[in-house]
């Protein structure tokens, strides 16, 4: 046999094998180098799915072979925007602090207010992103508010989107003369006990604890079995410095003074530290200059303080005994 002819035959056979393998490779589609789960980049359809009804927000998804559009789930970070939100121009936010990463109707409301005041450019997406935080910081700086890039009561009030808090304040009937709680402490005019107390807010912890609802300006003292011992109205902070979450009582003083030295604070129970002083529960403060009180008992249930939670005398005396060092304080 002619050696050159034999070589050409082998070359043709090798070329045929290469072509066959290459065709199969193209038909299957190549995956990435070391990823056994990677989807073919040559055969997979590209599906673009709108994320909720957020303008100019879409998710591009690479769908594998056999995956239909209906089976594709968007992975956008827009969160709970599902195309059903209808936020009016005169909306209000939920009575809580909004911060970077939050999503939903309250963020949409915030962004609409910022856009309305020409503080934010573009369409409301419903996601508290970098541009939203920048706009909030500019607002806080201009209005001489505490600058933290988060939207609480003061910033929301400046934008006209904070809800009417009186709707969240539950006032129980004054107790009968001489009425006491299960620990034997007399009730104030704004206190109730046991089954007469308003129900605890959801997700407010377990065990023996104090629960403070900022929007309702109400405190609950709860026993270890979940029984409400007592509940009462307070006057909390006008500002965004009562941080939500789980805190603990860390210090107590029978009498102390305000951070500016202008007031006496009796039966102080501290649960939070700040740069200028502590935040805690105490009796309605008294002016050092003339001995007058800063507010009346009837005004409890209204935000009037600079940080602490003011209480009626009977409620302060009860809390002084109930709150031990380490007692959890759930702030919502």
Residue 17 within a domain? no
Q: Is the pLDDT of residue 170 over 60?
A: yes
Q: What is the pLDDT of residues 63-112, one digit of tens each?
A: 333 333 333 333 323 233 323 356 887 899 987 789 999 999 999 999 99
Q: Residues 117, 244: one domain?
A: no
The answer to whether residues 314 and 181 belong to one domain is yes
Please give the structure tokens belonging to residue 150. Answer: 């988060």
- Three-class DSSP category at 101: coil
Region 307-329 average pLDDT:
98
d(CA 54, CA 56): 6
Question: Which structural domain, as residue segments, surrounds residue 215?
Answer: 167-331
At 202 the pLDDT is 92
Give residue 152's pLDDT: 87
Q: Is 306 a domain residue?
A: yes
Q: By the 8 A CB rule, do 77 and 56 touch? A: no
What global pTM score does this model have?
0.61
Band (pLDDT 50/70/90 cuts) for residue 231 is very high
**CA 65 → CA 20, 46, 61, 129, 262, distances in Å?**
22, 11, 13, 35, 73
Average pLDDT for 138-156: 91
Beta-carbon contacts of residue 21 (< 8 Å; ≥ 6 apart)? none
> How many structural domains are present in the chain?
2
Output the pLDDT for position 232: 99
Say whether both 211 and 303 belong to one domain: yes
**177/265 same-domain check:** yes
Average confidence score pLDDT of the chain: 79
Q: Between 191 and 240, where is the model more confident?
A: 191
pLDDT at 295 over 80: yes
Residues 276 and 130 in one domain: no
Domain end position, chosen among 163, 189, 218: 163
Q: What is the CATH number of the domain that holds 252?
A: 2.40.440.10
Over range 189-201, report the average pLDDT. Answer: 97
Confidence of residue 6 (pLDDT cuts 50, 70, 90): low
Contact 308, 282 (CB under 8 A): yes
Task: Looking at the structure, tell me whether residues 179 and 207 fall in a common domain.
Answer: yes
pLDDT value, residue 48: 26
Supply the pLDDT for residue 113: 95
Instruction: For residues 236 and 175, give the distance between their C-alpha atoms in angstroms, rounded to a whole number.
Output: 22
How confident is the model at residue 176, as a pLDDT?
Answer: 97
How high is the pLDDT of residue 64? 33
In this structure, the answer to whether residues 306 and 181 fall within a common structural domain is: yes
- Residues 218 and 154 both lie in one domain: no
Identify the band that residue 13 occupies on the pLDDT scale cut at 50, 70 and 90.
Answer: low
Question: Do 157 and 174 fall within a single domain?
Answer: no
Per-residue confidence band for 186, with pLDDT thresholds at 50, 70 and 90: very high
Q: How high is the pLDDT of residue 3?
A: 47
Question: In terms of domains, do 132 and 268 share one?
Answer: no
The residue ranking higher by pLDDT, 51 or 257, is: 257
Segment 261-278, tens digit of pLDDT = 999 999 999 999 988 889
Q: Which of 118, 143, 163 is the last residue of a domain?
A: 163
Q: Between helices 105-116 and 130-142, what is the axis angle to 10°? A: 60
Q: Is the pLDDT of residue 283 over 90?
A: yes
């Amino acid at each position: 046999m002619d050696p050159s002819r034999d070589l050409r035959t082998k070359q043709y056979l090798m070329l045929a094998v290469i072509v066959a393998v290459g065709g199969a490779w193209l038909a299957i589609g190549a995956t990435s180098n070391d990823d056994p789960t990677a989807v073919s980049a040559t055969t997979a359809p590209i599906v673009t799915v709108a994320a909720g009804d957020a303008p100019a927000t879409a998710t591009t998804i690479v769908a594998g072979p056999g995956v239909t559009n209906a089976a594709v789930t968007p992975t956008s970070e827009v969160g709970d925007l599902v195309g059903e939100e209808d936020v009016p121009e005169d909306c209000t936010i939920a009575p809580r602090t909004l911060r970077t990463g939050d999503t939903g109707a309250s963020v949409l409301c915030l962004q609409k207010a910022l856009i309305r005041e020409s503080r934010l450019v573009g369409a409301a997406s419903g996601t508290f992103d970098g541009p939203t935080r920048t706009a909030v910081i500019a607002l806080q700086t201009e209005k001489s508010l505490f600058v933290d890039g988060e939207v609480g009561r003061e910033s929301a009030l400046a934008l006209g989107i904070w809800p009417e808090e009186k709707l969240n304040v539950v006032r129980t009937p004054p107790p009968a003369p001489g009425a006491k709680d299960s620990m034997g402490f007399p009730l104030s005019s704004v206190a109730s006990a046991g089954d007469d107390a308003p129900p605890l807010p959801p997700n407010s912890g377990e065990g023996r604890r104090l629960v403070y609802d900022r929007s309702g300006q109400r405190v609950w003292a709860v026993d270890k079995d979940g029984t409400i011992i007592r509940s009462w109205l307070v006057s909390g902070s006008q500002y965004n410095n009562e941080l939500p979450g789980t805190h603990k009582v860390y210090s107590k003083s029978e009498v102390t003074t305000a951070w500016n030295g202008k007031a006496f604070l009796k039966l102080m129970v501290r649960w939070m530290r700040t740069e200028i002083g502590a935040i805690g529960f105490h009796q309605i403060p008294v002016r050092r200059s003339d001995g007058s009180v800063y507010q009346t008992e009837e005004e409890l249930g209204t935000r009037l303080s600079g940080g602490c939670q003011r209480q009626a005398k009977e409620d302060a005396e009860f809390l002084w005994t109930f709150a031990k060092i380490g007692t959890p304080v759930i702030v919502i």
